[in-house]
A and B are shown apart, each in its own frame.
Chain A
Amino acid sequence: MVALGVIACYAAIGLWVLGTDAAKRLGERTGWWSVPASPLLDALTVERADEVVGAPEIPGFGIRPRPEERVRIAQSYLDEFRKRVNIRVRNRAEADQRAADAIAGIRFAEATPPNWPIAEFRERIKAALDDLDAIAEVGEVDRHPELLPRIEKVERDIASMLVAPAGVRGMLYHARLALGTDRQGRSILVRAVYSIKVAIQIGLVVALVAVLFGSVLGAAAAFFGGWVDLAVVWLYSTLSSLPDLVLLGVLVFMFTGSIFDDVTKPWLSLVPIYAAMCLTFWIGPCRVVRGEVMKIKELEYIQAARAIGFGRAYILIRHALPNTLHLMFINFSLLFIAAIKNEVVLSFLGLGVKVGPSWGRMIQESTPQVINGFYWQIGAATVFMFFLVLAFNIVSDALQDAFDPKHVS
């Protein structure tokens, strides 16, 4: 029951992410609406997941890093900030760009108040603002008076940022930093939550296709026998003689350099993973369903159907396959978990998800961090994965028990 609740929560979050992501794309394409205008709706889109929200490697729950660590972090973003501000404005477009960069720099800094004495922070920011004034004074503004309002706006923006955001935006701001940031300063929480969608997407597609393909093939093999059976059995014996992981790796690797190996097309880039997993995972359901249909085929209700005169395909689809539904359900939940776990392994080998976040990528990216004692990223990814996998394991166990002929009298 609890397990079903957990799965429902995950499913709801996955749907939310999928929905807001799709709505945003559609809004951009048609101009009917703008999702970024609504901070809540925009909270879990892929842009937010890839957005820099603060200094790198901030620990979660407002835990302060060790003093030397804080100094390192402060130094790194301050350098960054100065680098951006201390460039002379050459033309208008560049002025805009620099201004935007300056704001980004401040945003960078903004994330650090928990880690930095506030007085010192204000001082530094003030210094930065002076830098900005200096740019203006150098004479560019005299020659280009229209730059003045622009610079004023930058100043206003920066000033407003010194105050922590309030309301929904403030809540989201704190939520994003709740589990800290990764090496690029992106929110670990947003990435972990966004990955729910990625995991469910991979799990659903792979489990659905593999179970359907495997079941139909297995059922047909058992039902028609002869060379169909020989061919299917030969195929899966051959495939299953290779370790799953090796096969998966090789299959995904085969796609490198193809049209699917294109990071600009997020949907296409998942196809190699789908294809490799489906080609590997159909074996399980195929084997079980084949065995079951072998058994069912000899049952008297199948013979009765033949005596009535139904065609073989009809008997297979209407009488044999529906009676393997329980096996399909069980296999579906098993493969769902297997797909999610294998995505992690593939990503760890650099063969997995290439665009956007995923638990596999998060775990892979956190390997150097773990050595330095930063556990937030790997922790978030594994905990999120753990509950989903656990819930599915419990449900598939329950399914197995429910359908076990030993329990059904």
Chain B
Amino acid sequence: MTAVDSAAAKATAASAEPLLRVEGLVKHFPVRGGVLNAVRGHVHAVNGVSLAVYRGEVVGVVGESGCGKSTLGKLVIRLIEPTRGTITYAGQEITGLGHADLMPFRRKMQIIFQDPFSSLNPRLTVAGLLKEAVRFHRVVPPGEVDAYVSGLIAKVGLRTEARGKFPHEFSGGQRQRIGIARALATNPEFIVADEPVSALDVSIQAQVLNLMTDLKTDLGLTILFISHDLKVVEHFCDRVLVMYLGFVVEELPCARLHERAMHPYTRALLGANPIDDPDDRRPLTILKGDVPSPLTPPKGCPFAGRCPQVIDRCRSEMPPLENKSDGQRVACWAV
């Protein structure tokens, strides 16, 4: 869908400063328990992720459930505090900013969540939850709030009657549209879409993805698109980051993904989503073995336990994320 404008995006991207730059981002969640609620260990949710997102680009993040995608998404918009690492937005570092200093960035960076049920306050009407955000950031003068909100509702493809309704009166797909409207309410330039279609029926998924594509082009949005489904990412994104156990194992452009994918894990993911048969959704368990515990990440390659190409070096030494040709980066000793 977006493959057409991806070339143009990349042309400008290469020269310009990235809108979002993340360097060495680490997030460890303390695990408490036992007597006195002591810290007994850490979940290594995100382990030194670096990435850059250029203006107008859609960057995908894929990986199995629990690999740290959502944590990464929340980290970059400062919903949770990183353990280490820096986040730079439009040239300004936002990692250490306090509540007040962060405010202009809050307006520009928004998030769309996966679960259309828990992502909307059941006690606020559609207009209520949109107005709240619009007024808070004074997006438009007070007299124009109503018109602006109606505009937003129309923009995400809902009827005007939706204004006064509560979330429970809508279907999952409609709720997701409301969630998108809320993210757009502050008129942002950058959006983290955390599995926005994963909870929806396949037929509805396409509708919501089409809406997002339209909005992206109309509003010139930059999107970090999180998904566990490489097929969706491949269609929607310009570039994709493949995550495994909190590490980025491969980064590559979406164009000709099948030919270019090098990392054994990416290849396994592609095998799980045969492109020629979209209805065949074999689970990722074609991979043998389990994901190592994020409490004690392995010393070597995190994928070593399940990798068909594993060599001795993999278990002792961590492969670095190395630049290959044309914006492709891979962390693997075998390539």
Contact = CB atoms under 8 A, between A and B. Distances in A.
Contacts of B107: 309
B189 to A, nearest CB: 14
A308 B121 CA distance: 14
Given A299-B118, A300-B113, A307 B106 contact: yes
Contact of B182 (A304, A310, A311): A304
Nearest to B112: A304
A395 B182 CA distance: 38
Interface in A288-340: 299-301, 303-311, 318-319, 322-323, 325
A303 B123 contact: no
B115 interface: yes
- Range for the number of chain B residues in contact with chain A: 20 to 34
B219 interface: no
B111 A301 contact: no
Contact of A307 (B109, B121, B122, B132): B109
B306 interface: no
Contacts of B124: 319
Contact of A309 (B102, B119, B120): B102
A6 B79 CA distance: 50
B122 A323 contact: yes
Nearest to A298: B118
Nearest to B133: A308
A224 to B, nearest CB: 14
Contacts of B110: 307-308
Nearest to B77: A307
Contact of A322 (B106, B109, B115, B123): B123
Contact of B111 (A304, A322, A323, A325): A304
Nearest to B123: A322
Contacts of A319: 121, 124
B29 to A, nearest CB: 13
Nearest to A321: B123
B74 A303 contact: yes
Contact of B118 (A300, A309, A318, A325): A300
Q: Looking at A307, A309, A319, which has the most chain B CB atoms within 10 Å of its CB?
A: A307
Interface in A262-305: 299-301, 303-305
Contacts of B111: 303-304, 307
Nearest to A303: B79
A323 B99 contact: no
B119 A301 contact: yes
Contacts of B183: 304
A304 B136 contact: no
A306 B74 CA distance: 11
A322 B122 CA distance: 9
A301 B118 contact: yes
A318 B132 CA distance: 10
B32 to A, nearest CB: 12
A87 to B, nearest CB: 73
Interface residues of A, number: 17
Contact of A308 (B114, B122, B137): B137
Nearest to B37: A230
Nearest to B99: A311
A307 B79 contact: yes
A306 B111 CA distance: 10
B334 interface: no
Contacts of B206: none
Contacts of B118: 299-301
Contacts of B115: 300
B102 A301 contact: no
Contact of B136 (A300, A301, A306, A308): A308
Contacts of A305: 121
B103 A300 contact: no
A77 to B, nearest CB: 64
B186 interface: yes
A301 B102 CA distance: 19
Interface string B119-153: 11111100000001100110000000000000000
Contact of A304 (B99, B109, B113): B113
Contacts of A307: 77, 79, 106, 109-111
B187 to A, nearest CB: 12
A310 to B, nearest CB: 6
A304 B179 CA distance: 9
Interface in A157-177: none
Interface in B73-112: 74, 77, 79, 99, 102-103, 106-107, 109-111
A325 B123 CA distance: 10
Nearest to A315: B121
A308 B74 contact: no
Contacts of B79: 303, 306-307
A300 B111 CA distance: 10
21 contacts: A300-B113, A300-B118, A300-B119, A301-B118, A301-B119, A303-B111, A304-B111, A304-B113, A304-B179, A305-B121, A306-B79, A308-B106, A308-B132, A308-B137, A309-B107, A309-B137, A310-B132, A319-B121, A322-B123, A323-B121, A325-B123
Q: Which 4 A-B pairs have the closest CB atoms?
A: A309-B106, A300-B119, A300-B113, A301-B121
Interface of B: 74, 77, 79, 99, 102-103, 106-107, 109-111, 113-115, 118-124, 132-133, 136-137, 179, 182-183, 185-186
Given A306-B79, A307-B106, A323-B121, 16 more contacts: A300-B113, A300-B115, A301-B120, A303-B111, A303-B113, A304-B182, A304-B183, A307-B79, A308-B106, A308-B110, A308-B136, A309-B102, A309-B106, A309-B137, A310-B132, A323-B123
